[in-house]
Amino acid sequence: MTGNRDTIQRYSLAVISHLLLVVAWHFFVVLGDVPAFVMPSPLATLNSLFVPNYRWFDNTVATAVEIFGGYALAVAFGVGAALLFSWWRLLEMFSMPLLVSLNMIPKVALGPLIIVWFAYGIGPNIAMAFSIAFFPIVLTTARGLSEVEPDLLDLVRSLKGSRWQIFTKIQLPNALPYIFSGMKVAAILAVAGAIVGEFLGSDKGLGYLMLQVQVTLDTAAMFMAVILITLIGVFLYGLVLGLERLLVVQDARLK
């Protein structure tokens, strides 16, 4: 009962804080007599959703596909690479410095090259989201897989445990908190990567739409696009939190 009460209280406070933000936004615009082209009211922002020329559904779906696609690839390849590093120490010593160097490259600088290589479309933006979200996952997962007591690993090896058994029974459960820590950071970065890709060159998506309405100073549509981008990111982050609660919290309770 206490846990349910705490959960209800947490979500209630979250909803209230967001509602207060909208109220503060409304009164700031109205009482401050802020011009609409500088900051629209919440109602004007909501009304922009009913402008058919902006194709909100198509652009939102395109951005969501880019974010979720790049994020899924980052999780799959990040965890896979970290697993290989834990199995072959020489591979980690060879590859990790290279990954660090590649991660230092500003991703915005890669944008024009990605467009040259893959042209315009959803694919290059998925690649941009992947390139930004990949490194936090591989770094935190590699650390989690290595944070295992050597004596425990030696014990399992002495009992003829296979490499896969060591991974599934010992390393993976121990690394889950680290993996989800990287996944939560990567969820935020994947959103940024997809939007940066749309800013640099795209023919659809919410970032692309923001560039189009910027010409006419339709800030209400720009605000609405930002809100929709935020909602996509919050939904992705919520999925990660739910999966973490399912796998990590329940596993800790069982122990």
Q: Can you tell me the mean pLDDT for 139-155?
A: 76
Tokens 């900051």, located at residue:
39
Residues 153-188: pLDDT tens digits?
Answer: 666 667 666 667 777 777 777 888 888 999 999 999
- Percent of the chain whose predicted confidence (pLDDT) is above 70: 89
| 3 pLDDT higher than 60 | no
Domains located in the chain, CATH noted: 56-254 (1.10.3720.10)
Does residue 249 or residue 32 have the better pLDDT? Answer: 32
Q: Where are the beta strands (DSSP E) in 190-249?
A: none
Q: Three-state DSSP class for 194?
A: helix
Flag whether pLDDT at 88 surpasses 60.
yes
Secondary structure (DSSP) of 107-164: HHHHHHHHHHHH-SSHHHHHHHHHHHHHHHHHHHHHHHHH-S-HHHHHHHHHTT--HH
Res 191: pLDDT: 93
Spatial separation of the C-alpha atoms in residues 200 and 130, rounded to whole Å: 16
Most confident stretch, 22-26, 68-72, 213-217: 68-72
Q: Is 166 or 244 the better-scoring residue by pLDDT? A: 244
Instruction: Quickly state the pLDDT bin for 1 (edges 50, 70, 90).
Output: low
pLDDT at 11 over 90: no
Q: What is the pTM of this model?
A: 0.84
> Is it the case that residue 66 has pLDDT exceeding 90?
yes
Asked whether the predicted pLDDT for residue 26 surpasses 60, the reply is: yes
- Per-residue burial over 77-102, b if 16 or more Cβ lie within 10 Å, else e, is ebbebbbebbeeeeebeeebeebeee
- For residue 4, the model assigns a pLDDT of 66
pLDDT of residue 137: 92
Confidence of residue 254 (pLDDT cuts 50, 70, 90): very low
Structure-token pair, residue 200:
């640099």
Q: Quick one: pLDDT band at residue 233, thresholds 50, 70, 90?
A: very high
